[in-house]
Amino acid sequence: MLCGRSPPAPPIRYQGIGVKRSPRPPNALGEPTMVNLLAAHRHASHNRSEIEGSTLCGCFCCVQVFAPSEIVAFAGLDAADFANPDSLKGGTALCPRCGSESVIGDRSGYRIDAQFLGRMNEAWHQKTIIRPPTARK
């Protein structure tokens, strides 16, 4: 302690994309925070291996829950590198119900239920911000 005060908190360092951080716990109401939703959204792309290892999947565009075996298509595959088995891991699952790239599996560590998918839908598909044009200087 310095002069009766506790030492300052260490500075927050930027952790770039791809660095996994543990998400914050849900707020007092049990709903996930925006930080959790952002962390969960990272599991919706390049997720083929994670989806294949899941037992339950859900789409936060149409808010439907389904088995990973129902997913029949993945986006983002490079046909030029199709013979390389490592290139297949980078595919992004397409929802078998609506076709969007908004699929997340339970192997991500998030619960796959209507409440969670609904909150993800609100955060990513329902929020539209329309700003009035600003005058140019």
Token digits for 8?
């300052």
Domain that holds residue 86: 34-125
Please count the structural domains in the chain: 1
- Within-domain flag for 95: yes
Label residue 93 left, alpha or beta by phi (over 0 means left) and psi (-120 to 50 means alpha): beta
For 51-91, write each residue's pLDDT tens digit.
999 999 999 999 999 999 999 988 876 666 666 666 655 68
For 1-45, write each residue's pLDDT tens digit.
445 555 554 444 444 444 444 444 444 445 677 788 888 889 998
- Within-domain flag for 85: yes
